[in-house]
Amino acid sequence: MAKRLFIKTFGCQMNVYDSARMADVLAPFGFERDERPDDADLVILNTCHIREKAAEKVFSELGRLRRLKQARAQRGERMLLAVAGCVAQAEGEAVLRRAPFVDIVLGPQTYHRLPEMVERVSRGGRAVLDTEFPDEPKFDFLPEARAEGSNAFLAIQEGCDRFCSYCVVPYTRGAEYCRPAEAVLAEARALATQGVRELTLLGQNVNAWQAGPEWDLAALLTALAAIDGIERLRYVTSHPRDLGESLIAAHRDLPELMPFLHLPVQSGSDRILRAMNRGHDRDEYRRLADRLRAARPDLALSSDFIVGFPGETDRDFQDTLDLVAEIGFVQTYSFKYSPRPGTPAAALPDQLPDAVKEARLAELQALLHRQTEAFNQACVGREMAVLLDRPGKYADQLLGRSPYMQPVHVRAPGRRIGEVVRLRIAAVHPNSLEAIPA
Ligand code: 5AD
Ligand code: SF4
């Protein structure tokens, strides 16, 4: 009999991928994914620990789920509650202390064991806690990935050895691990056979991927581009220090590689970059951007920023604003610095008041917003290849993504989902671009 599974995902794309893989792991045991938690037999919260706000959301969500669980219990039914992901990894036992009605707590490295954990608590066992970093990589135990639509994420690397001073990732996801090339290629082939046209390779430090002397990310992208059906490639998230000559050349040589790169710089101030332990300064970042654009002139860059890092002065912040304008980022994610337990930056003196962070964030976001707008406007009249991936509101309308991830809608009778079509951008709407057949 089918059992209902509801997964709520917080945080990054790696978590979106992990959630899909957890569903794949549970499918052979009769679990089908549901859109709502109300009647679920198993609810998984796949959590994020990157900022305090993200971590706290989990506990308010758990409060709501507790009531659903009680309501089901009154009907004589059982809802199992699992907390997965980075909050589970970082807080472990503490999750069970704060929310004793939780049945399973599992870290990002043990979800291949989910069926076993579910089985154990179903038999009436006590809550299960599994936040180990097992010797055997979970990837070896996952069933074949099931595709949903024309785009897919594919995790090729996990964990991080960079230890930026503000970041919990090296602690929650562990040391860098790279999947073998053959495993990645096999997963990509399976996805392509199921209709996937665009692959986004995932890793916390994805461009550090290396699997033996011949296999770096450029070689992997080249091999993936040769797979029948794969028309577009992206990779995320990259660290500037690990972006070498071969990858820059791949941007020149591989038409499948989209001209849009998320390459976080975090700050424009050399002093702050040093305190963040980023391993590069603003000038090195600038030169990298120049080399990438020389290789691929239509390349656009996006970035993450942290404002209000401990000790950040008005001058440092101005350096960030200047760099944003100079590089011309077209898309960004910016955050107020959030001190995370166990990270070196949390212990630094000179933590800034929230009001300062708030004001700087608003100023930075206003600038970034203007740049995104300007970029969208500059796209009007341009021809772009758009991957159609969803039906639109009207019968002959389809939605898709531009090479720059902009949502595009077009009236294109006779076109089908899964096709890459050349379109001319005709207008900019608040949340999308409108196109006409080219
Ligand atoms: N506070 C605020 N933002 C953070 N990020 C990582 N750690 C923190 C933190 N402690 C941001 C970085 C990173 C993105 C995923 O989250 O900008 O690139
Ligand atoms: Fe965190 Fe830095 Fe690693 Fe990115 S590179 S995951 S910010 S430690």
Q: Is 164 annotated as a binding residue?
A: yes
Q: Cβ(267)–Cβ(320) under 8 Å? A: yes
Q: Is 178 annotated as a binding residue?
A: no
What would the two tokens of residue 123 be? 């038999």
Is the minimum distance from the CB of 304 to ligand 1 under 6 angstroms?
yes
Q: For position 135, what pLDDT does the model report? A: 85
Residues 6 or more apart in contact with residue 75 via CB below 8 angstroms: none
Q: For position 414, what pLDDT does the model report? A: 87
Q: Which amino acid is at 288?
A: L
Q: For position 412, what pLDDT does the model report? A: 86
The list of the chain residues with pLDDT below 50 reads none
CA dist 262 → 194, 195, 266, 408 (Å) = 27, 25, 12, 20
Cα-to-centroid distance, 271 and ligand 1 (Å)? 18
Judge: domain 383-437, CATH 2.40.50.140.
yes
Strand-strand pairing, 31-33 and 420-429: unpaired
Q: Which ligand is nearest to the CA of 169?
A: 2
Q: Cβ(307)–Cβ(361) under 8 Å? A: yes
Q: Dump strand ranges (E) for 31-124.
A: 31-33, 42-47, 80-85, 104-106
Is the minimum distance from the CB of 205 to ligand 1 under 6 angstroms?
no
Q: Is 167 annotated as a binding residue?
A: yes
Residue ID of nearest Cα to ligand 2 atom 1: 167
Is the minimum distance from the CB of 153 to ligand 1 under 6 angstroms?
no
Dump pLDDT digits (tens) for 168-210: 999 999 999 999 999 999 999 999 999 999 999 999 999 999 9
Q: Is residue 251 left, alpha or beta, with left meaning phi > 0 and alpha meaning psi from -120 to 50? A: alpha
Q: Which amino acid is at 215?
A: W
Locate the ligand 1 atom nearest the alpha carbon of residue 346 and give its number: 10
pTM of the model: 0.95
Is the minimum distance from the CB of 49 to ligand 1 under 6 angstroms?
no
Q: For position 413, what pLDDT does the model report? A: 84
Rounded CA-CA distance 42/222 in Å is: 40
Q: In this structure, is the dihedral angle defined by the CA atoms of residues 421, 423, 429 and 430, taken in order, positive or negative?
A: positive
Q: Which ligand is nearest to the CA of 50?
A: 1
Q: For position 112, what pLDDT does the model report? A: 94
| Closest C-alpha to 310, from 256, 357, 348 | 348
What's 147's DSSP letter?
P
CB atoms within 10 A of CB 363: 15
Q: For position 1, what pLDDT does the model report? A: 75
Is the minimum distance from the CB of 266 to ligand 1 under 6 angstroms?
yes
Report the top-level CATH class of 3-130.
alpha beta
Q: Which ligand is nearest to the CA of 364?
A: 1
Domain boundary assignment for the chain: 3-130, 383-437
What would the two tokens of residue 66 be? 């507790």
Q: For the chain, how many residues are written?
A: 438
